[in-house]
Amino acid sequence: MKQWEVVIGIETHAQLSTQAKIFSGSSTAFGASPNVQANAVDIALPGVLPVLNRGAVECAIRFGLAVEAQIAPRSVFARKNYFYPDLPKGYQISQYELPVVVGGKLSIQIGEVEKVVRLTRAHLEEDAGKSLHEELGHQFVGKSGIDLNRAGTPLLEIVTEPDLRSAAEAVAYARVLHALVRWIGICDGNMQEGSFRCDANVSVRPVGQTHLGTRREIKNLNSFRFMQQAIDYEVQWQIATLEDGGRIEQATVLFDPDSGATRAMRSKEDAHDYRYFPDPDLLPLVIDAQWVDRMRAQMPELPAAKRDRLITDYGLSAYDAKVLTTSLELAGYYEAAVAAAGKSNAKACANWVTVDLAARLNREAREISDSCVSAEQLGGLVARIGDGTISNNIAKRVFDAMWNGEGSSADEIIARDGLQQITDSSALEALIDEVLSANATMVGEFRAGKEKAFNALVGKAMKATRGQANPQQVNELLRKKLG
């Protein structure tokens, strides 16, 4: 049996986080009533003209800088002509021959191996509106509705070279890209609302063959899970088809999550001739070096650089560093917590953020930006663990109290509730003596060789101190007294 190699390239439409549309002043906010956010330009009244939103260009420049691409000093908007009811002008303004971002690369991690995915280009374009075939209400039965709120929303279409070799790699790439566009603040990444949509060009070829097989394009993958499933299915289907002696026809396909299968939407024969030509209503987009420099100065530290710095500066594990750099907000939270706790507590901060805080956020379905405990509060808490004021167990109680708004800082809560660890050994000794005399049976059992009884005595002692004793110290004192 032949060995097959899978070849995948991804095209991603990232909706850019600008307030206004790319060629009109309308708002881009999601969820408004149909056609409320569509002005004269968006509905393509006769005579209206597009004016480029420079904010969208700045998003493209940021992206180009983040992937080490070339920012084209001159790029051109072109018209992509086709008829569809949710495309009001009868053409989409896009970039064709001269895109704004050329080349670039993105690193992905496959197990322990790092792989560099080459980008072909990224170009600016406008989104279309939406056709509504259902949910129109009884007065519109059998009709389709058009909602042009989305028409003209800025998109950055990011195209890779056919560098990916499996569904897992494709998903890894999509995840890294998703994190990056959010990190640099150009896209909210909301896949459910369609802010980040991927198309996968999939082909297979016998291992060793140099030319590419015929590809099919899976459109509109709006979750990583669907992407994995769709590509897996498509690859199996293509291999099965070829092994049965069939041929792959170039086609556009859709993934049906219910059946788990892809099905052809249109073949190459029905492919549109989009009759691209430069849009005469828009001047070429000129980006000078000063503009790029200005954008570069505003760029945040990128995930990879931050990851490396967390490892070298704070001594974090690669794993922790990776988790903490999944989003700019999380990384920012972490660094602010360390700033409050002191660098010596950096590792403890990492544990608190990635374990306790993460679990709590997860349980309450909150984002890091909506955390009830601020980075400064958490840092203050970790500092008190670090200097021995409280134990980890008490710290969890303090954390809960802060989370519930019962106190504005760890110090306040510790002082108010008297949670400080008992370190005075004479006080502790007196307490332990009480415990021993109250639990003579257990003491007897221990002396008879039952090691378990010792643990029970530690528990009794800790309970008597309401957990405020240093468990280590209690242990030592007990051994001494029983020994």
Instruction: Summarize as ranges the residues that interact with other proteins (CB under 8 A).
Output: 40, 43-52, 79, 81, 83, 85, 88-91, 146, 273, 275-277, 280-283
CB neighbours of residue 166 within 10 Å:
17
Distance of alpha carbon 91 from alpha carbon 432, whole angstroms: 83
Q: Comparing C-alpha atoms, which of 404, 413, 397, 337 is closest to residue 368?
A: 337
Helices 451-464 and 425-438 sit at what angle, rounded to 10 degrees?
120
Query: β-strands 261-267, 251-256: how paired?
Result: antiparallel
Shortest Å, Cβ 412 to other proteins: 55
Burial class (CB in 10 A: 0-12, 13-18, 19+), 261: middle
- Which residue, 91 or 255, has its beta carbon nearer to other proteins? 91
Shortest Å, Cβ 272 to other proteins: 10
Q: Which residues pair with 118 in a beta bridge?
A: 105
Shortest Å, Cβ 66 to other proteins: 28
- Which residue, 46 or 137, has its beta carbon nearer to other proteins? 46
Residue 221 half-sphere exposure toward CB, CA atoms < 13 A: 30
Shortest Å, Cβ 120 to other proteins: 21
Read out DSSP for 211-262?
SPPPPEEEEEE-SHHHHHHHHHHHHHHHHHHHHTT--PPPEEEEEETTTTEE
- Which residue, 95 or 229, has its beta carbon nearer to other proteins? 95
The answer for 232, left when phi > 0, alpha when psi is -120 to 50, beta otherwise, is alpha
- Which residue, 80 or 216, has its beta carbon nearer to other proteins? 80
**Which DSSP symbol is given to 11?**
E
Distance of alpha carbon 8 from alpha carbon 30, whole angstroms: 31
Distance of alpha carbon 203 from alpha carbon 216, whole angstroms: 7
Shortest Å, Cβ 52 to other proteins: 7
Shortest Å, Cβ 50 to other proteins: 7
- Which residue, 39 or 351, has its beta carbon nearer to other proteins? 39
Contact criterion met (CB below 8 Å) for 7 and 38: no
CA–CA distances in Å: residue 160 to residues 7, 19, 116, 136, 166: 12, 28, 11, 38, 14
Shortest Å, Cβ 82 to other proteins: 9
Distance of alpha carbon 203 from alpha carbon 249, whole angstroms: 11
- Which residue, 89 or 197, has its beta carbon nearer to other proteins? 89
Shortest Å, Cβ 19 to other proteins: 17
How many residues does this entry show for the chain?
483
Shortest Å, Cβ 125 to other proteins: 16
- Which residue, 154 or 379, has its beta carbon nearer to other proteins? 154
Shortest Å, Cβ 141 to other proteins: 17
CA 320 to chain centre: 16
Shortest Å, Cβ 31 to other proteins: 22
Structure tokens at 327: 């989003």
- Which residue, 52 or 102, has its beta carbon nearer to other proteins? 52
- Which residue, 60 or 414, has its beta carbon nearer to other proteins? 60
- Which residue, 78 or 167, has its beta carbon nearer to other proteins? 78
Burial class (CB in 10 A: 0-12, 13-18, 19+), 281: middle
- Which residue, 48 or 110, has its beta carbon nearer to other proteins? 48
